[in-house]
Amino acid sequence: AQSVTQLDSHVSVSEGTPVLLRCNYSSSYSPSLFWYVQHPNKGLQLLLKYTSAATLVKGINGFEAEFKKSETSFHLTKPSAHMSDAAEYFCVVSDGNFNKFYFGSGTKLNVKP
């Protein structure tokens, strides 16, 4: 069975400081993992995806994530937060057939001026 756990429901950072959003996954086989972002009252936008080609994945807007099999983690990072990064972020694992996606409960990122 597939599942993801996002370890923080809320994260608050100051503009210009690093961002770390944590995600642990459970999967019965080699997982396909994704991070999506949702700005207030908007749909979901793909930030990045891991599909076993490389453990460090670069996404849009300066975000990246590192797949660590030994730790079953796929944490999202950004070196320097921007006000426009304030949103909710979801870690997602697919079932391998890509017709079902399992979402974490989400992490709301607040960026302070």
Partner 1 sequence: NAGVTQTPKFQVLKTGQSMTLQCAQDMNHEYMSWYRQDPGMGLRLIHYSVGAGITDQGEVPNGYNVSRSTTEDFPLRLLSAAPSQTSVYFCASSYRGGANTEAFFGQGTRLTVV
Does 90 bind partner 1 (CB under 8 A)? Our answer is yes
| Number of residues forming the site for partner 1 (CB under 8 A) | 24
Strand pairing of 107-112 and 87-94? Answer: antiparallel
4's tokens: 């993801």
Does 3 bind partner 1 (CB under 8 A)? Our answer is no
Of the pair 62, 96, the CB lying nearest partner 1 is at 96
Among 36, 30, 40, 15, CA closest to 105:
36
Question: Which of 22, 24, 49, 59 is the binder for partner 1 (CB under 8 A)?
Answer: 49
Site of interaction with partner 1 (CB under 8 A): 9, 32, 34, 36, 42-44, 46, 49, 51-52, 90, 92, 94, 97-106
